Amino acid sequence: MKRLLVLLVLLGHAAVAEPASQHPVAKLERSFWLNASLASPQLGYWGLEFPAVTRPTDKQIANAARVLCVPSGPNRLYLIYHHEMPVEDACAVFRAWRKACPPAVELVPTLLLRMYDKGAAEVLTSEEMAVLAAFFKKEINPRRAAVYDVLPKREQGAGLAVLGREFPEGLVRVGLQPGEALLPPFTAAVEDTWSGLCHGLGKEDWRAPGFGRDTLRKWVAERNSGPAPIVYDLIVVAWDYAHTKRGEYPGYDDANKNLPLPAGRNPLAATEILAAARPGRLAGFSSDLLILQLNSASTPHDGRRGSFYETLKAGQPYTGFYAAPWREVLGIFQALSQGRTIFATPEPESR
């Protein structure tokens, strides 16, 4: 009888155990991308004619590192630099990030190489590129760097050749668009999934034929035969659903109107990606905090003082307009870090 009871207990545990994943879950990338300066890009990177930002203090960077790294266990940060401060200040800021982050968190210097103005001006001179590449390799990351661009198929200029030469086996494209080929010298990518996750108001809308789930599955299937494993973006900021019937694209992207991603969407999407990606074709998950900053800073939402980067610098958890999907991303990262693939939707916090 005692043996039978033990057997029944073991069978009960097996019945509720989490199913084994085809991916090395705890080793997958869990990353954020954000501005190293913790300053909003002026006009969304349009043009070179804007004043330099105020360099963040080491204390502010330490606060931000603690808020980002402690609760969710990311293993990589893509720190974006677009010449918003002098190169010497940028080097000091990257040093401060490296000092503040746990050793297990890899920092990947991430450069914008061309502006988004009509002339697509090159952001850095050849001399500045050489200085930065040497500094990054020596003090921040000897193996890996990244290029940030969410516009597809742009010619990146002379800076790309410098990075490709200095980081021949570890150059990442952050913001790769669905359907855009991953070409040399890039060896890895973080793919933008915005429209796939946004398309659909409720759970059943998102799962409906032709809506977001179908789109996301198509994108993952395309990357399954690609040259490198892909990191997929989890979303915090969605488009405006106010004038749509089922969450269709409204025809504009407006930081004053964009809404939080519907509750439960990130767990659904992460589960779909884990199921659809072939073994060895999924590198992990990331989340775009630059877009969170730009949208949270709008006056109808949190305003500049309550924006995401300001809460990071103050060392406070973000509880603003987009807090619910932000907590979902944190929960997914925490689960993955523990080797789990069942993702709960967190309860709302009182503000």
109: β partners: 79
* Percentage, residues of the chain above pLDDT 70: 91
Pick from 36-40, 52-56, 347-351 the range whose average pLDDT is largest.
36-40
Tens of pLDDT, residues 130-172: 999 999 999 999 999 999 999 999 999 999 999 999 999 999 9
CB-facing half-sphere around the CA of 323: CA atoms within 13 A? 17
User: Taking the CA atoms of the chain, what radius of gyration do you get in angstroms?
Assistant: 21
Q: Hey, which residues does 231 pair with through a beta bridge? A: 190, 284
Distance CA 97, CA 257 (A): 32
Please report the pLDDT score of residue 52 as a whole number.
79
Contact between 235 and 198 (Cβ < 8 Å): yes
Sort 306 into a burial class: Cβ within 10 Å, 0-12 / 13-18 / 19+: middle
Greatest C-alpha distance within the chain: 81
Domain 25-337 has CATH 3.20.20: yes
Per-residue pLDDT averaged across 18-27, rounded? 83
Indicate if the pLDDT at residue 4 is higher than 80: no
**H/E/C letters for each residue in 256-298?**
CCCCECCCCHHHHHHHHHHHHCCCCCEEEEEEEHHHHHHHHCC
pTM to 2 decimals? Answer: 0.92
Sequence-distant (≥ 6) Cβ neighbours of residue 230 within 8 angstroms: 176, 182, 188, 189, 190, 191, 223, 277, 281, 282, 283
Has residue 17 got a pLDDT over 70?
no
Domain boundaries, the chain: 25-337
Determine whether 289 is exposed, middle or buried from the number of CB atoms within 10 Å of its CB (0-12, 13-18, 19+): buried
Q: Which pLDDT does position 94 carry in this prediction?
A: 98
Determine the Cα–Cα distance for residues 15 and 75; give it in Å rounded to an integer: 32
* pLDDT, position 41: 82
CA angle in degrees (0–180, nearest 5) for 28-81-240: 70
Alpha helices in 123-261 (DSSP H): 126-135, 158-166, 194-198, 203-207, 212-224
DSSP 122: B
What element of type H or E holds 109? strand 106-111
Q: What is the pLDDT of residues 100-118, one digit of tens each?
A: 999 999 999 999 999 888 8
For residue 71, name the pLDDT band (cuts at 50, 70, 90). confident
pLDDT at position 351, please? 42
Q: What is the pLDDT of residues 286-337, one digit of tens each?
A: 999 999 999 999 999 999 999 999 999 999 999 999 999 999 999 999 999 9
